[in-house]
Amino acid sequence: MIKLSNAALHSLPAGIARPRYDRSKLTPGIVHIGTGNFHRAHQAVYLDDLFNAGAGHDWALIGAGVRPHDAEMRQKLGAQDYLTTVIELDPKGNRPRVTGPMIGFAEVAPDNAPLIAAMSDPAIRIVSLTVTEGGYFVDPSTGTFDPTHPDIAADARQPGTPATAFGAILAALRVRRASGLAPFTVMSCDNLPGNGHVTRDAVTGLARLFDAELADWISANVAFPNAMVDRITPATGPREIALAGSFGIEDAWPVTCEPFRQWVIEDHFTAGRPPLEEVGVTFTDHVHLYEAMKIRILNGGHAIIAYAGGMMDIEYAHEAMAEPLIRAFLGKVEREEVIPHVPAVPDTDLNDYFATIEDRFANPEIADTIRRLCLDGSNRQPKFIIPSLRDNLAKGRVPLGLILESALWCRYCAGTTDSGAVTAPNDPRWDELTVIAKKAKTEPNAWLAMADIYGTTGRDPRVQEAFATALNALWTRGTRAVLEDYLTGRPL
């Protein structure tokens, strides 16, 4: 095998795409915080395409992170000149490529001084982030920025030595402001509604705790574009490393992903942007429409198959799609309770979009695990499922399928599958959820009483009645029998 490096690029086996540009002539324009698999399969791939097209060579990436895990990433990527093997997993044949838009990686330090210095460089015009949906310090009970979070409070006390990404961004903006430099754009690439607004609230909310004037300056001068991002990207493990090896490449952290990708961005930038429209990125004022489509149909769809699959001891998403009951459950809920409440999207047929998603979920090469899809339901359910449930109720319809999905999540969190197998903890609030889920077996409203998840929807008598019926049926007869009844229209 060939160990990945700049020197080895010309020696890669034939058929492996590689940078066609001179990496030594790239100059940095973007610092990206959170260089995990999704970033390297998405934003970095778009930039690689742009550089291959001969454009945007002054927009190369500097990687960054604020967690100890990021230091490991820096070490492994640095040892291979920040190159990444990206393998598109296609049933018709997997396609490997080596990408090279990252040209450096800020040292990871507790006080984030190297990251602050990197973002203070006048050449940097965008700071982008993938810090996960749960990394924005949002109070789940209000859906707004939480200034009381211990990490935020600590950064407010010591803004010169911040521990969070948002504290580091503020410190760099303070340096640039004091030096008379233009601020950079802050661009979230995380999968959450209104990600630009959420990021702005985190940055200005933290600033307001210790420097209201700085917060006002940021509000007036810094752009926080909203964006919708989409590409299924499994975690890297021995399978993925071996897959890179099957192509003759020794890569310490390769990335696998589905062929599909989409990026929709609000065209609002402080100091320019790369011409990503040349490589398929959509710039629009209607990001919220694409976002609602994706979050409700795709992410909501993942939840619909996930907990049913988990309760039936199914390991992979494509295996869940091969189970007729689960695939039919997904189709019925989407077509009857989700898609009718998704606003129209420019140049998009929502039913065609869903058909594409069914194919994506069923791709056996992805090997996306049901456990990954079940992860962090306490954060994902309020974003991906509850809004559709609420919209149905507002129009006088009781969405039995979405309520059944919620009951399946509750039953999953009780900690055992239908076969009696123990479910390992799979949520940051797992211990709390398990206690409530077990209590809900005899007191179903205990689950719906989680106001930070359900809001007022959990107090709706229609929801309470349907949820109690579904949960009792799951406990007494099991997932398979309940799905059969739901799909045939029999009472649960």
Report d(CA 203, CA 399) in Å as an integer.
38
What pLDDT was estimated at residue 75? 98
What pLDDT was estimated at residue 254? 98
What pLDDT was estimated at residue 393? 98
The pLDDT of 23-35, averaged and rounded, is: 98
For helices 324-333 and 400-413, the axis angle rounded to 10 degrees is 130
Same fold, 2-285 and 288-488: no
Q: What percent of the chain has pLDDT over 90?
A: 95
What pLDDT was estimated at residue 192? 85
The pLDDT of 106-122, averaged and rounded, is: 97
Q: What angle do CA 126, 132, 137 make, to 5 degrees?
A: 90
pLDDT in tens, 63-102: 999 999 999 999 999 999 999 999 999 999 999 999 999 9
- pLDDT of 140 > 80? The answer is no
Tokens 């100091």 correspond to: 271
The pLDDT of 228-250, averaged and rounded, is: 94
Contact between 258 and 111 under an 8 Å Cβ cutoff? The reply is no
Mean pLDDT score of the chain? 96
pLDDT in tens, 419-438: 999 999 999 999 999 999 99
Report the topology of domain 2-285. Rossmann fold (3.40.50)
Q: Which residue type, as a one-letter code, is found at position 416?
A: T
pTM: 0.90
At residue 154 the predicted structure's pLDDT band, cuts being 50, 70 and 90, is: very high
- pLDDT of 193 > 90? The answer is no
At residue 439 the predicted structure's pLDDT band, cuts being 50, 70 and 90, is: very high
Q: What percent of the chain has pLDDT over 70?
A: 100
Report d(CA 136, CA 154) in Å as an integer.
15
Phi-psi region of 376 (alpha: psi -120 to 50; beta: other; left: phi over 0): left
What pLDDT was estimated at residue 338? 98
Contact between 181 and 122 under an 8 Å Cβ cutoff? The reply is yes
Q: Is 36 helix (H, G, I), strand (E, B) or coil?
A: coil
Q: Is 40 helix (H, G, I), strand (E, B) or coil?
A: helix
Helical residues (DSSP H) of 121-270, grouped into ranges? 150-157, 165-179, 195-208, 212-221, 238-246
Distance of CA 379 to the CA centre of its chain: 12
Phi-psi region of 341 (alpha: psi -120 to 50; beta: other; left: phi over 0): alpha
Q: Is 34 helix (H, G, I), strand (E, B) or coil?
A: coil
Report d(CA 483, CA 492) in Å as an integer.
9
- pLDDT of 141 > 80? The answer is no
Report d(CA 460, CA 446) in Å as an integer.
13
The pLDDT of 184-190, averaged and rounded, is: 97
Q: Is 139 helix (H, G, I), strand (E, B) or coil?
A: strand
What pLDDT was estimated at residue 293? 96
pLDDT in tens, 379-422: 899 989 999 999 999 999 999 999 999 999 999 999 999 999 99
Phi-psi region of 194 (alpha: psi -120 to 50; beta: other; left: phi over 0): left
For helices 430-440 and 400-413, the axis angle rounded to 10 degrees is 120
Phi-psi region of 150 (alpha: psi -120 to 50; beta: other; left: phi over 0): alpha
What pLDDT was estimated at residue 191? 86
* Residues 469, 318, 192, 127, Cα dihedral to 10°: 160
pLDDT in tens, 250-308: 999 999 999 999 999 999 999 999 999 999 999 999 999 999 999 999 999 999 999 99
Q: Which residue type, as a one-letter code, is found at position 134?
A: G
Domain boundaries, the chain: 2-285, 288-488
pLDDT in tens, 338-385: 999 999 999 999 999 999 999 999 999 998 999 999 999 998 999 899
State the Rg of the chain over Cα: 23
The pLDDT of 18-23, averaged and rounded, is: 98
At residue 163 the predicted structure's pLDDT band, cuts being 50, 70 and 90, is: very high
For the domain 288-488, what is the CATH code? 1.10.1040.10
Contact between 154 and 163 under an 8 Å Cβ cutoff? The reply is yes
- pLDDT of 207 > 90? The answer is yes
